Amino acid sequence: MKVSETSNYQMSTQTNQLVPDGNQQSFRVSTVQIPGISQLLPSLYLCGASVISGKALEHLAISFVINIAPELPDTPLPHSNFNCRVLYLRINAFDLPNANLSVHFDEVTDMIETVRQTGGRTLVHCVAGVSRSTTFCLAYLIKYAGMNLREAFFHTKAIRPQIRPNLGFFQQLRAYEQHLHGVVSINMVYYECIRCKIPDVYETEYRAMEDFYQKQKKFKRLHRY
Protein backbone atom coordinates (compact mmCIF):
# COMPACT_ATOMS: atom_id res chain seq x y z
CA MET A 1 0.00 0.00 0.00
CA LYS A 2 1.34 3.42 -0.93
CA VAL A 3 -0.17 6.74 0.08
CA SER A 4 0.80 10.02 -1.49
CA GLU A 5 -0.80 13.42 -1.76
CA THR A 6 -0.94 16.41 -4.01
CA SER A 7 -0.78 19.96 -2.59
CA ASN A 8 -1.06 20.06 1.20
CA TYR A 9 -3.97 17.76 1.91
CA GLN A 10 -3.64 16.26 5.38
CA MET A 11 -5.47 13.26 6.80
CA SER A 12 -5.16 11.80 10.26
CA THR A 13 -3.65 8.32 10.34
CA GLN A 14 -5.60 7.52 13.49
CA THR A 15 -8.50 6.17 11.46
CA ASN A 16 -8.98 3.26 13.83
CA GLN A 17 -10.66 5.72 16.20
CA LEU A 18 -13.60 6.12 13.82
CA VAL A 19 -16.72 4.09 14.54
CA PRO A 20 -19.89 3.70 12.47
CA ASP A 21 -22.78 5.87 13.64
CA GLY A 22 -25.33 3.21 12.66
CA ASN A 23 -27.32 5.53 10.40
CA GLN A 24 -27.78 4.71 6.74
CA GLN A 25 -26.43 7.48 4.56
CA SER A 26 -28.89 9.24 2.30
CA PHE A 27 -28.38 8.79 -1.43
CA ARG A 28 -28.68 11.54 -4.00
CA VAL A 29 -27.30 11.58 -7.51
CA SER A 30 -24.77 14.28 -8.29
CA THR A 31 -25.69 16.77 -11.00
CA VAL A 32 -22.24 16.11 -12.49
CA GLN A 33 -22.08 12.71 -14.18
CA ILE A 34 -19.37 11.16 -16.33
CA PRO A 35 -20.09 8.03 -18.40
CA GLY A 36 -18.44 4.96 -16.89
CA ILE A 37 -18.02 6.48 -13.42
CA SER A 38 -20.70 5.20 -11.04
CA GLN A 39 -21.85 7.18 -8.01
CA LEU A 40 -22.72 4.77 -5.21
CA LEU A 41 -23.21 7.44 -2.53
CA PRO A 42 -22.88 11.21 -2.57
CA SER A 43 -19.27 10.79 -1.45
CA LEU A 44 -18.31 7.48 -3.14
CA TYR A 45 -17.59 6.70 -6.79
CA LEU A 46 -16.56 3.47 -8.54
CA CYS A 47 -15.08 2.97 -12.01
CA GLY A 48 -12.55 1.29 -14.26
CA ALA A 49 -9.27 2.88 -15.21
CA SER A 50 -10.09 3.73 -18.83
CA VAL A 51 -12.53 6.53 -17.96
CA ILE A 52 -10.30 8.35 -15.46
CA SER A 53 -8.60 11.61 -16.27
CA GLY A 54 -7.46 14.57 -14.25
CA LYS A 55 -10.30 16.55 -15.82
CA ALA A 56 -12.89 13.95 -14.78
CA LEU A 57 -11.64 14.00 -11.19
CA GLU A 58 -11.76 17.78 -11.23
CA HIS A 59 -15.34 17.87 -12.54
CA LEU A 60 -16.45 15.45 -9.80
CA ALA A 61 -14.45 17.28 -7.10
CA ILE A 62 -12.74 14.04 -6.09
CA SER A 63 -10.43 14.48 -3.11
CA PHE A 64 -9.31 10.87 -2.56
CA VAL A 65 -8.38 8.31 -5.23
CA ILE A 66 -7.81 4.61 -4.49
CA ASN A 67 -6.12 2.49 -7.17
CA ILE A 68 -6.15 -1.30 -6.69
CA ALA A 69 -4.28 -2.41 -9.81
CA PRO A 70 -0.53 -3.06 -9.76
CA GLU A 71 -0.67 -3.78 -13.50
CA LEU A 72 -1.56 -0.13 -14.14
CA PRO A 73 0.51 3.05 -13.89
CA ASP A 74 -0.42 5.60 -11.26
CA THR A 75 -3.81 7.22 -11.72
CA PRO A 76 -3.71 10.59 -13.54
CA LEU A 77 -4.58 13.25 -11.00
CA PRO A 78 -5.68 16.87 -11.52
CA HIS A 79 -3.01 19.49 -12.09
CA SER A 80 -1.31 20.99 -9.07
CA ASN A 81 -3.33 24.20 -9.39
CA PHE A 82 -6.60 22.28 -8.86
CA ASN A 83 -8.29 23.79 -5.81
CA CYS A 84 -9.44 20.39 -4.42
CA ARG A 85 -6.34 18.75 -2.97
CA VAL A 86 -6.15 15.05 -3.79
CA LEU A 87 -5.00 12.18 -1.59
CA TYR A 88 -3.86 9.09 -3.52
CA LEU A 89 -3.72 5.52 -2.24
CA ARG A 90 -2.31 2.60 -4.24
CA ILE A 91 -2.92 -1.01 -3.18
CA ASN A 92 -0.97 -3.65 -5.07
CA ALA A 93 -3.32 -6.62 -5.31
CA PHE A 94 -4.21 -8.68 -8.37
CA ASP A 95 -7.70 -9.92 -9.21
CA LEU A 96 -7.08 -13.44 -7.93
CA PRO A 97 -9.27 -15.39 -5.48
CA ASN A 98 -6.31 -15.92 -3.13
CA ALA A 99 -5.32 -12.23 -3.05
CA ASN A 100 -5.98 -10.98 0.48
CA LEU A 101 -7.85 -7.68 0.26
CA SER A 102 -9.36 -8.07 3.73
CA VAL A 103 -6.12 -7.02 5.45
CA HIS A 104 -6.82 -3.53 4.06
CA PHE A 105 -10.57 -3.35 4.71
CA ASP A 106 -10.51 -1.45 8.00
CA GLU A 107 -7.83 1.03 7.02
CA VAL A 108 -9.33 1.80 3.62
CA THR A 109 -12.95 2.06 4.76
CA ASP A 110 -11.91 4.30 7.65
CA MET A 111 -10.04 6.58 5.26
CA ILE A 112 -13.06 6.80 2.94
CA GLU A 113 -15.22 7.70 5.93
CA THR A 114 -12.76 10.33 7.12
CA VAL A 115 -12.90 11.94 3.68
CA ARG A 116 -16.72 11.91 3.77
CA GLN A 117 -16.81 13.48 7.22
CA THR A 118 -14.57 16.31 6.02
CA GLY A 119 -16.82 16.99 3.02
CA GLY A 120 -14.71 15.15 0.43
CA ARG A 121 -15.41 12.53 -2.21
CA THR A 122 -13.63 9.24 -2.89
CA LEU A 123 -13.18 7.43 -6.20
CA VAL A 124 -12.18 3.75 -6.11
CA HIS A 125 -10.94 1.99 -9.24
CA CYS A 126 -9.08 -1.06 -10.51
CA VAL A 127 -8.78 -2.06 -14.18
CA ALA A 128 -12.45 -2.56 -15.01
CA GLY A 129 -14.32 -1.45 -11.87
CA VAL A 130 -15.78 -4.95 -11.52
CA SER A 131 -14.00 -7.01 -8.86
CA ARG A 132 -11.24 -5.45 -6.73
CA SER A 133 -12.56 -1.89 -6.49
CA THR A 134 -16.12 -3.17 -6.03
CA THR A 135 -14.95 -5.32 -3.12
CA PHE A 136 -13.62 -2.28 -1.25
CA CYS A 137 -16.78 -0.30 -1.96
CA LEU A 138 -18.92 -3.13 -0.61
CA ALA A 139 -16.74 -3.31 2.51
CA TYR A 140 -17.33 0.42 3.05
CA LEU A 141 -21.08 0.12 2.54
CA ILE A 142 -21.43 -2.66 5.12
CA LYS A 143 -19.28 -0.83 7.66
CA TYR A 144 -20.49 2.76 7.28
CA ALA A 145 -23.65 2.98 5.16
CA GLY A 146 -26.00 0.89 7.29
CA MET A 147 -26.25 -1.97 4.76
CA ASN A 148 -25.64 -5.66 5.09
CA LEU A 149 -23.61 -7.36 2.36
CA ARG A 150 -26.67 -8.45 0.39
CA GLU A 151 -28.13 -4.94 0.43
CA ALA A 152 -24.77 -3.44 -0.47
CA PHE A 153 -24.33 -5.83 -3.39
CA PHE A 154 -27.75 -5.16 -4.92
CA HIS A 155 -27.48 -1.42 -4.26
CA THR A 156 -24.18 -1.34 -6.15
CA LYS A 157 -25.36 -3.69 -8.90
CA ALA A 158 -28.43 -1.53 -9.55
CA ILE A 159 -26.08 1.38 -10.25
CA ARG A 160 -23.26 -0.57 -11.92
CA PRO A 161 -24.66 -3.85 -13.33
CA GLN A 162 -21.29 -5.28 -14.38
CA ILE A 163 -19.91 -5.69 -10.84
CA ARG A 164 -18.67 -9.16 -9.99
CA PRO A 165 -16.18 -9.65 -7.14
CA ASN A 166 -14.38 -12.96 -7.58
CA LEU A 167 -15.29 -15.87 -5.31
CA GLY A 168 -12.34 -15.37 -2.98
CA PHE A 169 -13.19 -11.69 -2.46
CA PHE A 170 -16.81 -12.61 -1.72
CA GLN A 171 -15.65 -15.02 0.98
CA GLN A 172 -13.55 -12.21 2.48
CA LEU A 173 -16.55 -9.87 2.45
CA ARG A 174 -18.71 -12.52 4.15
CA ALA A 175 -16.06 -12.91 6.85
CA TYR A 176 -15.89 -9.12 7.24
CA GLU A 177 -19.65 -8.86 7.62
CA GLN A 178 -19.54 -11.63 10.22
CA HIS A 179 -16.76 -9.79 12.06
CA LEU A 180 -18.60 -6.45 12.02
CA HIS A 181 -22.19 -7.51 12.60
CA GLY A 182 -22.13 -11.12 13.75
CA VAL A 183 -24.29 -12.30 10.84
CA VAL A 184 -23.82 -13.34 7.22
CA SER A 185 -26.46 -12.20 4.74
CA ILE A 186 -25.19 -14.08 1.66
CA ASN A 187 -24.85 -17.85 1.57
CA MET A 188 -22.41 -19.93 -0.46
CA VAL A 189 -24.11 -22.58 -2.61
CA TYR A 190 -22.38 -25.56 -4.21
CA TYR A 191 -22.82 -25.93 -7.97
CA GLU A 192 -21.78 -29.27 -9.34
CA CYS A 193 -21.34 -27.96 -12.88
CA ILE A 194 -18.38 -25.84 -11.81
CA ARG A 195 -17.43 -27.94 -8.78
CA CYS A 196 -17.29 -25.08 -6.32
CA LYS A 197 -19.42 -22.88 -4.10
CA ILE A 198 -20.73 -19.55 -5.34
CA PRO A 199 -22.50 -16.68 -3.54
CA ASP A 200 -26.25 -17.14 -3.79
CA VAL A 201 -26.51 -13.72 -5.48
CA TYR A 202 -24.73 -15.30 -8.47
CA GLU A 203 -27.18 -18.20 -8.78
CA THR A 204 -29.10 -16.73 -11.70
CA GLU A 205 -25.88 -16.75 -13.73
CA TYR A 206 -25.31 -20.45 -13.17
CA ARG A 207 -28.81 -21.91 -12.84
CA ALA A 208 -29.25 -22.76 -16.53
CA MET A 209 -25.77 -24.29 -16.64
CA GLU A 210 -26.44 -26.39 -13.56
CA ASP A 211 -29.81 -27.57 -14.90
CA PHE A 212 -28.20 -28.58 -18.19
CA TYR A 213 -25.41 -30.36 -16.36
CA GLN A 214 -27.86 -32.34 -14.22
CA LYS A 215 -29.94 -33.32 -17.27
CA GLN A 216 -26.83 -34.53 -19.08
CA LYS A 217 -25.72 -36.41 -15.99
CA LYS A 218 -29.11 -38.12 -15.73
CA PHE A 219 -29.14 -38.93 -19.45
CA LYS A 220 -25.69 -40.54 -19.28
CA ARG A 221 -26.71 -42.55 -16.22
CA LEU A 222 -29.84 -43.87 -17.93
CA HIS A 223 -27.96 -44.80 -21.10
CA ARG A 224 -24.87 -46.21 -19.50
CA TYR A 225 -25.75 -49.82 -20.34
Contacts of 70 (CB under 8 A, 6+ apart): 92, 93, 94
**What Rg do the C-alpha atoms of the chain give, in angstroms?**
20
The sign of the torsion formed by the CA atoms of 153, 155, 156, 159 equals positive
Give the count of beta carbons closer than 10 Å to the beta carbon of residue 197: 14
Chain-centre distance of CA 144, in angstroms?
A: 13
Q: Which of 47, 84, 126, 193 is catalytic?
A: 126
Contacts of 214 (CB under 8 A, 6+ apart): 192, 193
* Residue 47 is among the residues annotated as catalytic for this protein: no
**DSSP secondary-structure letter at 36?**
T
**Which residues are known catalytic residues?**
126
